[in-house]
Amino acid sequence: MPRSGEAVRRRLQQAALELFAEHGFEQTPVEAIASRAGVTERTFYRHFADKREMLFDGETELRDLLVQAVAAVPHGTKPLPTLRAAFHETVPLFERNRPFTEPGVRLIAETPALQERSLAKRALLVNALTDALQARGVDARIAPLCAQVAMDTFAVATRRWMQEPSVPLHDQVDQAFRELRLAAAALK
């Protein structure tokens, strides 16, 4: 195989993060990113489907880990406890990547176009979790609801963890799922 191109991809990500931090996402043309990385604008689009996509690189890794974790939960476990356990398995990944993802999270929070893409990525995760549940025999009727609700509960946990890093993510996850159980118990 010829030259790898992996170095170029990393340089593009590095250049983009720097420029986004300086001028913001919308005010940074792709040409500027490519230029700082020492390549052409065309090369950028050979490494990333579009300008937003480069901010969401770890999502496929997270998805694979989650699907694997769901499959590893002992059989007979109910859907939401299964998903809670799977999310606990991803905690080390989040803790390890925290310093890297923090600036990206802030950038996403203040850029509507990136929020949209972030929501789309979460939807992909929900789909993957739905399939993983159905592979365990969960009824196709409730699998999407469980996957979606668990995803949102975990999202609440991570958001709190970002704002208040003193509480471990494990505890935030348990706390959020506790609140979900209490809130749902009030339904008739």
Partner DNA sequence: CTCTATATGTCATACTCTGACGCTATTAGT
Partner DNA sequence: ACTAATAGCGTCAGAGTATGACATATAGAG
Residue 93 CA to residue 169 CA, distance in Å, equals: 11
- Least distance (Å) from a second copy to the CB of residue 128? 16
Of residues 12 and 73, the one with the C-beta less far from DNA: 12
- Least distance (Å) from a second copy to the CB of residue 11? 28
Amino acid at 128: A
Residues 90, 69 contacting (CB under 8 angstroms): yes
Neighbours of 14 (CB within 10 A): 13
- Least distance (Å) from a second copy to the CB of residue 160? 8
Residues 129, 147 contacting (CB under 8 angstroms): yes
Site pattern 16..55 for DNA (x: CB under 7 A): ------------xxxx------xxxxxx-xxx-xxxx---
Residues that bind a second copy (CB under 8 A): 78-81, 84, 112, 115-117, 119-120, 123, 141-142, 144-146, 148-149, 152-153, 155-156, 176-181, 183-188
Cβ-in-10-Å burial (0-12, 13-18, 19+) of 37 comes to buried
Q: Which does 85 bind (CB under 5 to 8 A by kind): DNA, a second copy, none?
A: none
Of residues 103 and 112, the one with the C-beta less far from a second copy: 112
Decide if residue 86 touches DNA (CB under 7 A): no
Residue 105 CA to residue 109 CA, distance in Å, equals: 6
Of residues 31 and 64, the one with the C-beta less far from DNA: 31
Amino acid at 188: K
